[in-house]
Amino acid sequence: MFSATIMATIVFIIAAIVMVLASILSKKALNDREKSSPFECGFDPSESSRIPFSLRFFMIAIIFLIFDVEIALILPMIMIIKFSNIFIWSFTSMFFIVILLAGLYHEWNQGALTWTT
């Protein structure tokens, strides 16, 4: 018990030292206006580089990622059909697909899938 406490203390001290050194060494001493501005072929930028972010695009991207991950979860179900009980496999598959369809219906009903509004 005593050695675990000593090891935890040593690890904490080493981590603290590394974090302090990283924060000291990563500070930029010189903030040059030309280096921090966006590069546009040597000319001054014609407009701000900080354009407003489209929340609608973000929501569509998140929905795409969620359904993409769920497709990746469905694909192995096809591979295990030979090795599992057909009743349990079909019940699990249909339950999973019903949850996906309910989520899709909810997103459609809330208007999250309409791009132009």
Q: Integer distance in angstroms from the first to the last C-alpha of the chain?
A: 63
Choose among 66, 51, 73, 52: nearest CA to 112.
66
Query: What was the pLDDT predicted at 112?
Result: 77
Is the residue at 34 inside a domain? Answer: no
Is the residue at 13 inside a domain? Answer: yes
CA distance 47 to 37: 12
Domain count within the chain: 2
Is the residue at 45 inside a domain? Answer: no
Is the residue at 48 inside a domain? Answer: no
Q: What is the pLDDT of residues 20-56, one digit of tens each?
A: 988 888 765 556 666 666 665 666 656 666 667 777 7
CA-based torsion, 28, 29, 32, 33: positive or negative: positive
- 3-state SS class at 40: strand
**Confidence band (pLDDT; 50, 70, 90) for 15?**
very high
- pLDDT: which is higher, 8 or 54: 8
Query: Do residues 24 and 59 share a domain?
Result: no
Is the residue at 36 inside a domain? Answer: no
Query: Do residues 98 and 63 share a domain?
Result: yes
Query: Average per-residue pLDDT in the chain?
Result: 80
Report field, pTM of the whole predicted structure over 0.85: no
Contacts for 45 with CB less than 8 Å, ≥ 6 apart: 37, 38
Q: Which domain holds residue 75?
A: 55-110
CA distance 89 to 83: 10
